[in-house]
């Protein structure tokens, strides 16, 4: 191969790379646009799920705060730990999968009903949801536990190194398991096959996933600004933010708009990845 031919191949590869990058930006735009329209039209179906999700999230944080800030009897601690496990490993993952299931029904113009949800959760479905989400939940729990023991590190560099490593691990785990809950909502195949399919589908898609997450950066900035202003005014009027954990954890209500939009976007992106992969998922 001469220099001229090599140069042509390099230019062709660059064009393919640029086309692929532009194509994903278009895909993300369409996904977010459809998510916004669908959530606005069908918000009544999502509100209860988002409300429950925020309650469970604030409850988990509240349990962490109570366990590590007060001295309580072993009996109370066992109850709180059991409640924390139930919230983190069962209630939160199940709520997300039901959200995806509801979103799929809306996309396919099927009737959304409580009876369908109850039937969906019968049998071994709960166990499958818990098993598939076990690793991401454990990683998330490890990071949350580390924050509770921050004082023990005396703000040393070791804490920030471990925290950074766990945060990166949590993000990477969420990336690799990204398609799992979508296929759980689809009732596709068994637990092992769903996990294997997600790991294979997300292979070499890390930069696309990062770009997808960065496309929501404006929302993340809005949430940070609202939380900062909200906490500032709470301090001005001498109200303990811990007493309003549900309000603060929902970013003073912003999450009731952002969370359904983000979750539905995740559903559409997972569907796109599932339908545009060379991997096979046994149904």
Residue 188: the pLDDT is 64
CB-CB neighbours of 101 under 10 Å: 23
CA distance linking residue 188 with residue 180, whole number of Å:
10
Residue 154: the pLDDT is 67
Residue 3: the pLDDT is 44
pTM of the model: 0.82
Residue 182: the pLDDT is 93
Residue 278: the pLDDT is 57
Residue 217: the pLDDT is 92
pLDDT in tens, 17-39: 344 555 777 888 889 999 999 99
> What is the tally of helices (H) and strands (E) in the chain?
14, 0
pLDDT in tens, 48-99: 898 888 888 878 877 776 766 666 677 777 788 888 888 889 999 999 999 9
Residue 12: the pLDDT is 39
Q: Which of 172, 9, 185 is nearest to 108 (CA)?
A: 185
Q: Consecutive sets of 10 residues in the chain, 283 residues long: mean pLDDT of each? A: 39 40 76 91 90 84 69 74 87 93 89 82 87 92 75 71 87 94 84 90 90 91 80 65 52 78 94 75 45
95 touches 120 (CB < 8 A) = no
CA distance linking residue 266 with residue 283, whole number of Å:
22
Phi/psi at 190 (5° precision): -95, 180
106 touches 112 (CB < 8 A) = yes
CA distance linking residue 120 with residue 122, whole number of Å:
6
């Amino acid at each position: 191969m001469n220099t001229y031919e090599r140069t042509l191949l390099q230019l062709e590869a660059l064009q393919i790379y640029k086309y692929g990058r532009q194509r994903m930006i278009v895909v993300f735009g369409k996904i977010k646009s459809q998510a916004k329209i669908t959530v606005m039209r069908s918000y009544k179906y999502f509100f209860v799920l988002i409300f429950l999700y925020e309650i469970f999230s604030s409850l988990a944080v509240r349990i962490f705060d109570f366990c590590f800030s007060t001295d309580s009897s072993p009996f109370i601690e066992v109850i709180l730990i059991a409640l924390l496990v139930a919230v983190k490993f069962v209630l939160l993952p199940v709520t997300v999968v039901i959200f995806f299931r509801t979103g799929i029904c809306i996309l396919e113009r099927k009737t959304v009903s409580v009876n369908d949800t109850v039937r969906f959760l019968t049998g071994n479905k709960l166990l499958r949801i818990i098993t598939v989400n076990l690793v991401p939940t454990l990683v998330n729990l490890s990071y949350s536990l580390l924050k509770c023991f921050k004082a023990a590190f005396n703000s040393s560099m070791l804490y920030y190194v471990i925290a950074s490593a766990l945060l990166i691990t949590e993000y990477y785990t969420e990336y690799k398991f990204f398609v799992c809950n979508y296929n759980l909502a689809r009732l596709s195949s068994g637990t092992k096959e769903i996990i294997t399919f997600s790991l294979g589908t997300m292979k070499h898609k890390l930069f696309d996933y990062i770009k997808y997450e960065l496309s929501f950066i404006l929302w993340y900035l809005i949430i940070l600004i609202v939380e900062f202003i909200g906490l500032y005014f709470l301090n001005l009027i001498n109200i303990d933010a811990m007493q309003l954990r549900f309000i603060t954890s929902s970013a003073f209500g912003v999450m009731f708009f952002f969370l359904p939009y983000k979750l539905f976007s995740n559903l559409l992106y997972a569907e796109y990845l599932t339908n545009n992969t060379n991997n096979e998922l046994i149904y």
